[in-house]
Amino acid sequence: MRADADFLRSIPKVELHCHLEGAVPATTAIALACKNGIILPTYDPELLYTFADLPEFLTVYRAVCASMVTARDFAEIAYAAQEEGVRTGNLRYRELFVNPTNHHVPYPEMLEGIIDGLRCAEEDFGVVGRVIPAINREQSPSMARELVEAVIEYRRDEVLGIGLDHNDALGPPELFVDAFQVAANAGLRRTAHAGEIDQRDQVIDSIELLGCERIDHGYAVMSDPVAVEFVRDAGTHFAGCWSSCAWFHPGLPQHSLPIAAMLRAGLPVSINSDDPPMFGTGIGNEYVLAGKTLGWTRAQAIQAAVAAVDGSWMDASDKAALRREIEDVMHTA
Ligand code: ADE
Ligand code: ZN
């Protein structure tokens, strides 16, 4: 039986690739900027999230980051992001990226706010939130190392690992070997954005040099069968994002997107929303886009949701419970 949009939205979901600061609606970002006296490129909510390419997108993203200043700001955006995921896509568990070095707020203060918001959302909606501080690769390797040291010094159970994001054309993995090694020694899990547009070798380098068990995006591997075999052998999970992939591969029809090719090739790929309001999407909508484009049956849609559980950094018993919850949908729907 084909999975229709209601079914795709209703599946209990795990999300592995969503940026907290990218999950803020334009109206909220503008309200925060006004409250905190922060300059934005525009105060028109219809225009704030307009950009032509990745560098322009990241410029807007950093301006939005700057608009969050107090622990309460972080608590409110974390709570609202989780609520929206539950409302629009039956989100059950999410690992959220945050870019601490894009803010002028001490890491512990920001983190306490985020954890507070995530805990309140868990109490109110039953959705679990975890945190992945991400290195901004456009900043220096020494800033990256300092961030990892802060994460280790101010350790909280909600923080599972580290990420690496921003423009991969500007900050290759080899610059961050030291920071990732320090993280590995402290038992932190590791993922990195790589191969979002091109830079195929960065996918391989992130696995080999940084020890990443997951890659965010990674679409560029699809241009080389040898790279595909490499990532298959490595068992790498890809945290893909349909809408942002479409955005940064303009002109390609939905069924020709590299994320579609990855799914068709049977790679371990999860479906995620990246920066939902910035790309006009949400976790439920991402499943609708993927499922409709690829003509998923209900069983295939369930399989995709389970792939996200498999790629997550939950412990084994939580994974088993969520897998059961997802697979139960087949019997109850
Ligand atoms: N930070 C937030 N969204 C991102 C993306 N799509 N690529 C790189 N860095 C990001
Ligand atoms: Zn991302």
Query: Residues 291-320: what's their mean pLDDT?
Result: 98
Do residues 160 and 188 lie in contact, with contact meaning Cβ atoms separated by under 8 Å? Answer: yes
- For atom 4 of ligand 1, the residue with the nearest CA is 166
pLDDT recorded at residue 333: 65
Could you identify the residue written with the tokens 């939205």?
A: 9
Element (H, E) at 182: helix 177-185
Do residues 118 and 129 lie in contact, with contact meaning Cβ atoms separated by under 8 Å? Answer: yes
Task: Give the tens place of pLDDT for each residue, 15-66.
Answer: 999 999 999 999 999 999 999 999 999 999 999 999 999 999 999 999 999 9
Task: Give the tens place of pLDDT for each residue, 115-130.
Answer: 999 999 999 999 999 9
pLDDT at 154 over 80: yes
Element (H, E) at 244: helix 242-247
Domains of the chain (ranges, CATH numbers): 5-25+71-332 (3.20.20.140)
pLDDT recorded at residue 330: 83
- For atom 1 of ligand 1, the residue with the nearest CA is 166
Q: Which tokens sit at 113?
A: 């706010």
* Burial call 125-145: b when 16+ CB within 10 Å, e when fewer: bebbbbbbbbbbbbbebeebb
**Half-sphere exposure in the Cβ direction for 23 (13 Å, CA):** 29
Residue 309 CA to residue 327 CA, distance in Å, equals: 12
Counting DSSP H helices and E strands in the chain, the numbers are: 15, 8
Do residues 177 and 153 lie in contact, with contact meaning Cβ atoms separated by under 8 Å? Answer: no
Residues with Cβ–ion distance below 5 A, ligand 2: 274
Lowest average pLDDT, out of 135-139, 143-147, 198-202, 309-313, goes to 198-202
- For atom 9 of ligand 1, the residue with the nearest CA is 166
Tell which atom from ligand 1 comes closest to the C-alpha of 241: 6
Binned at pLDDT 50, 70 and 90, residue 102 comes out as very high
Residue 198 or 255, more confident: 255
For residue 42, what are the contacts with CB-CB under 8 A and spacing of at least 6? 48
CA 193 to centroid of ligand 1, rounded, Å: 8
- For atom 7 of ligand 1, the residue with the nearest CA is 166
Nearest ligand by distance to the CA of 274: 2
Query: Residues 181-189: what's their mean pLDDT?
Result: 98
Q: Which tokens sit at 128?
A: 């679990």
Return the percentage of the chain with pLDDT > 70, whole number: 100
- For atom 8 of ligand 1, the residue with the nearest CA is 166
| SS3 (DSSP) at 132 | strand
Q: For all residues of the chain together, what is the average pLDDT?
A: 97
Tell which atom from ligand 1 comes closest to the C-alpha of 19: 2
Query: Residues 69-77: what's their mean pLDDT?
Result: 98
Tell which atom from ligand 1 comes closest to the C-alpha of 134: 1
pTM for the predicted model, two decimal places: 0.98
Residues with CB under 6 A from ligand 1: 19, 22, 61, 165-166, 193, 196, 244, 274-275
Binned at pLDDT 50, 70 and 90, residue 99 comes out as very high
pLDDT at 8 over 90: yes
Could you identify the residue written with the tokens 């290195």?
A: 135
Sheet holding 128-136, edge to edge: 13-19, 91-98, 128-136, 161-165, 189-194, 214-217, 237-241, 269-272
Strand runs labelled E in 182-223: 189-194, 214-217
pLDDT recorded at residue 331: 79
CA 166 to centroid of ligand 1, rounded, Å: 5
Query: Residues 243-259: what's their mean pLDDT?
Result: 96
